[in-house]
Structure 1
Amino acid sequence: MIDPAAPSRGDTPWIGDDPRFALLRARYRRFVFPVTAAFLLWFLAYVLCSAYARGFMAAEVVGHINVALVFGLLQFASTFGIALAYGRFAARRLDPLAEELRRTAAARAGDEHEPTGSLA
């Protein structure tokens, strides 16, 4: 736990130099950037089709359900799918490394600061 009475060290400036932190950022970026780009392209395709391909979007798939409705519902499904995939990815590839960095930061903070007692 962070001690608010402890002198500031600039929010652990050493962590930016730790190779584990660089690996954590790289893993995060390798997942988030491509998935974000893919989702934005998918959303842009939906918007552009809604604006310029009205005949296609109005085509009925089953009964009175048209392509536009299916695409709109797929937007929700893809959003939830991405959230689920990110949660699983983070639990497997990011969280263990982040926890290791947290333990290192806590150990370093304990080595560098004397206990100041209770805050109560």
Structure 2
Amino acid sequence: MVAARHDPVYDDLHASAEFAELKRRYRGFAFPATAAFLVWYLTYVVLSMWAGGFMSKQVVGNINVALVLGLLQFATTFVIAWLYSNYSTKRLDPLARELDERFVSLSKGAPGGKDLR
């Protein structure tokens, strides 16, 4: 069994309030977005399995409710990706950059004086 290596600089940053805040912000977006999408997806699956009459209703021409909801699954995926990109740029990236800069400056002062990234 190989002993785990610990980097004291990383361990200090990992224990910092800023790192905890970064994780909180990430989870604050990722968990609700994932849960909402899974509910939306499973609703589509359940409707497809047990609401055939509803899903087969014609909307326009040969386009039915099932096709519209299926296409909305793709649209939802892209909307969530776009929302996450914006959220990350505004709320996660600045804090992550700050932590990275702190890691680099602290790691240069570590024994050996090399960049530990």
Q: What is the TM-score with the length of structure 1 in the denominator?
A: 0.86
Classify 1:111/1:83 alpha carbon distance in 2 versus 1 (closer, same or farther; 3 Å): same
Question: How many residues matched?
Answer: 110
Classify 1:58/1:86 alpha carbon distance in 2 versus 1 (closer, same or farther; 3 Å): same
Match in the other structure for 2:97? 99
Paired residue for 1:26, among 21, 24, 40? 24
User: Percent identity of the aligned residues?
Assistant: 46
Paired residue for 2:78, among 77, 80, 89? 80
Q: Matches of 1:54 and 1:27 in 2, distance apart?
A: 40
Q: Mark the runs of 5 or more structure 1 residues left unpaired by the alignment.
A: 1-6
Match in the other structure for 2:61? 63
Pairwise CA distance, 1:12: 1.3
Q: CA RMSD in A?
A: 1.7
Match in the other structure for 1:3? none
Classify 1:111/1:11 alpha carbon distance in 2 versus 1 (closer, same or farther; 3 Å): closer
SS in 2 for 1:112: coil
Classify 1:8/1:19 alpha carbon distance in 2 versus 1 (closer, same or farther; 3 Å): closer
Q: What is the TM-score with the length of structure 2 in the denominator?
A: 0.88
Q: Which amino acid aligns with 1:78?
A: T
Match in the other structure for 1:53? 51
Pairwise CA distance, 1:10: 6.3
Pairwise CA distance, 1:16: 1.8
Pairwise CA distance, 1:114: 3.4
Match in the other structure for 1:90? 88
Q: Which amino acid aligns with 2:16?
A: D
Pairwise CA distance, 1:13: 1.2
Q: Which amino acid aligns with 2:71?
A: L
SS in 2 for 1:31: helix
Q: Bigger relative contact order, structure 1 or 2, given CA contacts below 8 A and separation 6+?
A: 1
